[in-house]
Amino acid sequence: MRNDHSPTPPSADTALEATGKFNVVAHDVPKVDGEGLVLGRPAYADDLAPSNALYVKLVRSPHAFARILSIDPVKALALPGVACVLTWKDCPRIPITRAGQGNPEPSPHDRFILDEYVRYVGDEVAVVAAESEAIAEKAAALVKVEYQVLKPVLDFEEALDNPVVIHPEPGIHEMFPIGFEPARNIAAAYRMEIGDVEKELAASPVRVETTIHTQAQQHVALEPHTAFSYIDLHGRLVIVTSTQNPWHTRRLLGLAFQMPLHRIRIVKPRIGGGFGGKQHIHVEPYVAMVTMKTGRPARLALTRREVFEATFTRHEMRVTVRLGANPDGMLRAIDMQVLSNTGAYGEHALTTFMVAGSKTLPLYNKAVAVRFGGHVVYTNKVSAGAFRGYGAIQGLTGLEAAMDELAHRLGVDPVELRRKNMLHEGETSEVFRIMGEGTEGIAMNIESCKLEECIARGKELIGWDPGHLVREVAPGKLRAKGMAIAMQGSGIPLIDMGSARIEFQDGGFFKLHVGATDLGTGSDTILAQIAAEELGVDMEDIVVHSSDTDHTPFDVGAYASSTTYVSGSAVLKAARSLKAKLIGAVADKFGVAPGDVIYKDKTFRTADGTQSLSLDDFSYDTLYHDGAKMKTIEVTESFTGDKSPPPYLAAFVEIELDVETGKVDVVHYVAVADVGTPINPNLAKIQIEGGLLQGIGLALYEDVRYSDTGHMLSHTMMTYPIPSREDVGRITVELVDSYEPSGPFGAKSAGEIGIDTPPSAIANAIRNAVGIRLTEYPFTPERVLAALKAAKAQ
């Protein structure tokens, strides 16, 4: 994708690290695993599976809602090469959640490894293992299952208090109060209010209300969900899996199988993309069941159809926003009400729902009164779960539609309306305090916010002229511009924790052990850059070992845009501590105080210049030569943030709309972001570009569709279109000059902020083109044309 401008260096007046005089940080360093991937070296879980591993296949439900009356495996077991067929009667009946989150989990424990009920087409019924994949597939087809078919609930607008109860089973529960009412088909609920919203709305001279509906969306990572398992020499269960969170996976499996955690090891190899879809346990329990039953290694890689039909989608949401404002455009009240569809199980139900408010409402902190609330309901569709943007994209789409409608109502530039009401550096929002973005009920103060600069640069790049936002370029073809702004976060305060261990090695290099999970984002590279910068060495001197619950320190995993900020801060702490230890050890060797030792260019020198020692030579001295003083030098440090400093982004888009066909094309998308100091500018921009393309997909292309019996119709790449690079015109991404004091070398996150704006900005551009507010995503040609015809008829 095209990048037209390089990021400018951080401001020189904020701190020493922000002078731009970095040796490794803020440079476009190649990814540490890039060469190996290009050369096709084995790296992914399925590449590494033992050759003698049993192949696992899953028998899946053909019904949206049913009770299993019986399972007959006789014909399957009679097939030569079949090792076992396992059902819900072969595993502990322990309610769990598949969502890898905190402890206790904010998701209800409403799921069993296997159950006598199936709640969507594709739900797991039985596990089959055989000597080959072909035999396993044939055996799975021979398993005879008798069902009592039940009436499903497929429309989330009809789920609340429906006489059909999707989770009637005893034993399921919430871990703490989240509004869990399964008898009402409610997985979670929440409500908060600041001030008196109804009073402020009633007193507002100008009021607008919009309702938008965002659809479910598939992750479409290149690598499907994959794992293999085996029993090691010590009788421990080892699972190698494409997971975003090894420690959560270990804990959830321990609960599911009632196993002590010291008997389980989780290893994460290279991941071919996750986007939140691998923040759950999908395949790990089934390979584990086979290995524990047979004693043999077992492997499972889902097909693309299984990924579509039986893992997770984005939460479908209906978002209603009411705004009250004065005639000058100053907001008085914001009311956001949300209905969210969690599907069959409540994974990430509460947290995704809350982020729809917590990562959007603070954007407009000038409002006197703010309210947020609603329900997350069960339906008999595939579960929703974590997905890049994690609720913020849905909430922002509703909020930015309302803000644009307010601008139209007032007849003002939508950019200036936002600037007048938006968050600025040095400010805060009560929403931060109430919805968990601060420390112990204290609202987070914003120390870095360059949204003004993002907007100014974005206007310049797109050629924003509020008086000329639409023009006809050919008969029936309109060019129009729209815009939106967004904020995200950098980890979850006081919950997300990352750790790093750095060991000094003979030869003068360092081993960096991190629990952080690189899922294709380049986080191993970024963390190595942070360590190399602080230790004053080259990237080649940092060897990264990541994501192994036996051999790397604890980390919550890759989600919530946390890795650079949380895990990076742990790496920086460890590197600083280790450097101090090295200087202290050399000072002892020199017979001087640590303050009299200068370390620069991989060399230690006394202040008076009389003694010097290279890092390489010292490594052999401390490990081989110094007799009683020989020792290993290593440090482990952890970091938990007490805040979640948001990155910001201003987006401007120019579209072309064909009024004869309804087709909308993105001609130019401009995204200008504040991510603090970009540790690796190229990787940061690539993250934003990828997010933009996924957001454009949600806006214009992607739609998870079902039949009236609950069968997914969009379960292949032929029936589920995603935009390729050729489907989108010019993309321009820039990073503005920024520095976040609480982040490593001034960094904030970049992983999610790119995805949030495209649905809003494109909808606003269409509104400017034809005067119609489209509210049902995606904006396919059929939908756009139908709206144009309906408007013409009226």
Residue 5 domain-assigned (yes or no): no
| Per-residue pLDDT at 794 | 83
Token code pair at residue 126? 């039985």
Q: Amino acid letter at 776? A: E
- Contact predicate 624/630, CB 8 Å: yes
**What are the residues whose beta carbons fall under 8 Å from the beta carbon of 468, sequence distance 6 or more?**
none
- Contact predicate 559/280, CB 8 Å: no
Strands 603-606 and 298-301: unpaired
| Per-residue pLDDT at 436 | 77
* 586-640: pLDDT as tens digits: 999 999 999 999 999 999 999 999 999 999 999 999 999 999 889 999 999 999 9
Closest CA to 270 of 39, 52, 546: 546
Asked if 291 and 344 sit in the same domain, the reply is no
What range defines the domain where residue 733 resides? 316-492+643-793
Asked if residue 176 has pLDDT above 80, the reply is yes
For the chain, the first-to-last Cα distance in angstroms comes to: 41
Closest CA to 489 of 364, 644, 650, 648: 644
| Per-residue pLDDT at 8 | 36
Kindly indicate the confidence band of residue 582, based on its pLDDT and cuts at 50, 70 and 90.
Answer: very high
Residue 172 domain-assigned (yes or no): no
Residue 71 domain-assigned (yes or no): yes
Phi/psi of residue 639, nearest 5 degrees: -145, 135
| Per-residue pLDDT at 441 | 57
Instruction: Enumerate helices (H) and strands (E) in the chain, giving the number of each.
Output: 19, 27
| Per-residue pLDDT at 7 | 34
Asked if 728 and 599 sit in the same domain, the reply is no
Cβ neighbours of 463 (radius 10 Å): 12
Percentage of the residues of the chain whose pLDDT score is greater than 90: 95
Q: How long is the chain?
A: 794
Distance of CA 225 to the CA centre of its chain: 16
* 8-48: pLDDT as tens digits: 333 333 333 444 589 999 999 999 999 999 999 999 999 99
Give how many domains the chain has, as a whole number.
3
Half-sphere exposure at residue 189, Cβ-oriented, CA atoms within 13 angstroms: 11
- CA separation (Å) from 240 to 170, 245, 334, 549? 33, 12, 47, 11
SS3 (DSSP) at 230: strand
| Per-residue pLDDT at 383 | 98
Asked if 609 and 652 sit in the same domain, the reply is no
Residue 681 domain-assigned (yes or no): yes
| Per-residue pLDDT at 21 | 80
Token code pair at residue 242? 């494409």
| Per-residue pLDDT at 443 | 78
Bridge partners (DSSP) of residue 503 are 511, 634
- When computed from its CA atoms, the radius of gyration of the chain, rounded to whole angstroms, is 27
Token code pair at residue 304? 């693309």
**What are the residues whose beta carbons fall under 8 Å from the beta carbon of 730, sequence distance 6 or more?**
2, 667, 668, 669
Token code pair at residue 220? 């479409």
Asked if 293 and 400 sit in the same domain, the reply is no
- Contact predicate 359/397, CB 8 Å: no
Kindly indicate the confidence band of residue 437, based on its pLDDT and cuts at 50, 70 and 90.
Answer: low
Asked if 568 and 664 sit in the same domain, the reply is no
Asked if residue 3 has pLDDT above 50, the reply is no
Asked if 660 and 630 sit in the same domain, the reply is no
Token code pair at residue 14? 């904020």
- Contact predicate 437/488, CB 8 Å: no
Bridge partners (DSSP) of residue 322 are 209, 335
Token code pair at residue 301? 């890689």
- Contact predicate 529/601, CB 8 Å: no
Backbone φ/ψ region at 369: left (φ over 0), alpha (ψ -120 to 50), beta: beta
Q: What is the CATH number of the domain that holds 56?
A: 3.90.1170.50
Token code pair at residue 28? 């476009």
Closest CA to 670 of 489, 417, 482, 544: 482
* 294-328: pLDDT as tens digits: 999 999 999 999 999 999 999 999 999 999 999 99
| Per-residue pLDDT at 331 | 98
Phi/psi of residue 254, nearest 5 degrees: -60, -40
Asked if 105 and 247 sit in the same domain, the reply is yes
- Contact predicate 365/428, CB 8 Å: yes
- Residues 651 and 671: their CA atoms lie apart, in Å, by 5
What single-letter DSSP state applies at residue 629?
G
Asked if 126 and 244 sit in the same domain, the reply is yes
Asked if residue 276 has pLDDT above 60, the reply is yes
Last residue of a domain, one of 597, 615, 639: 639
Percentage of the residues of the chain whose pLDDT score is greater than 70: 97
- Contact predicate 514/567, CB 8 Å: yes
- Residues 315 and 214: their CA atoms lie apart, in Å, by 8
- Residues 729 and 253: their CA atoms lie apart, in Å, by 45
| Per-residue pLDDT at 11 | 35
| Burial annotation 112-142 (CB, 10 A radius, 16+ → b, else e) | bbbbbbbbbbbbbbbbbbbbeeebbebbbeb
Asked if 654 and 780 sit in the same domain, the reply is yes
**What are the residues whose beta carbons fall under 8 Å from the beta carbon of 376, sequence distance 6 or more?**
186, 187, 188, 189, 315, 340, 341, 342, 346, 349, 350, 352, 353
Residue 29 domain-assigned (yes or no): no
* 47-50 CB contacts, 8 Å cutoff, 24+ apart: 47/269, 48/228, 48/240, 48/269, 49/228, 49/240, 49/297, 49/299, 50/228, 50/230, 50/297, 50/299
SS3 (DSSP) at 714: coil
Half-sphere exposure at residue 71, Cβ-oriented, CA atoms within 13 angstroms: 26
| Segment among 347-356, 447-456, 620-629, 692-701 with least mean pLDDT | 620-629
| Mean pLDDT, residues 112-127 taken together | 98
Closest CA to 501 of 573, 430, 446: 573
- CA separation (Å) from 575 to 22, 579, 582, 637, 747? 16, 6, 10, 9, 16
- Residues 447 and 535: their CA atoms lie apart, in Å, by 27
Phi/psi of residue 84, nearest 5 degrees: -170, 160
Q: What is the CATH number of the domain that holds 614?
A: 3.30.365.10
Last residue of a domain, one of 287, 311, 335: 311
Asked if 267 and 328 sit in the same domain, the reply is no
Sign of the C-alpha dihedral, residues 746, 545, 243, 554? negative
- Cis peptide bond upstream of 182, omega within 30: no
- Contact predicate 344/112, CB 8 Å: no
Average pLDDT, the chain: 95
Closest CA to 341 of 317, 320, 359: 317
| Per-residue pLDDT at 272 | 95
Asked if 328 and 415 sit in the same domain, the reply is yes
Closest CA to 177 of 106, 239, 231, 225: 106
Asked if 326 and 376 sit in the same domain, the reply is yes
- Residues 189 and 376: their CA atoms lie apart, in Å, by 6
- CA separation (Å) from 126 to 227, 348, 501? 17, 25, 42
> Cα 768–774–780 angle (5° rounding)?
105
| Per-residue pLDDT at 770 | 97
- Residues 588 and 643: their CA atoms lie apart, in Å, by 39
Detail the DSSP E strand segments found in 270-429: 298-301, 316-325, 331-343, 369-378
Helix (H) or strand (E) holding 768: helix 758-770
| Per-residue pLDDT at 442 | 64
Last residue of a domain, one of 596, 619, 639: 639
Residue 782 domain-assigned (yes or no): yes
| Mean pLDDT, residues 412-434 taken together | 97
Residue 779 domain-assigned (yes or no): yes
- Contact predicate 663/781, CB 8 Å: yes
Cβ neighbours of 471 (radius 10 Å): 11
Residue 177 domain-assigned (yes or no): no
- Residues 366 and 333: their CA atoms lie apart, in Å, by 9
* 467-481: pLDDT as tens digits: 999 999 999 999 999
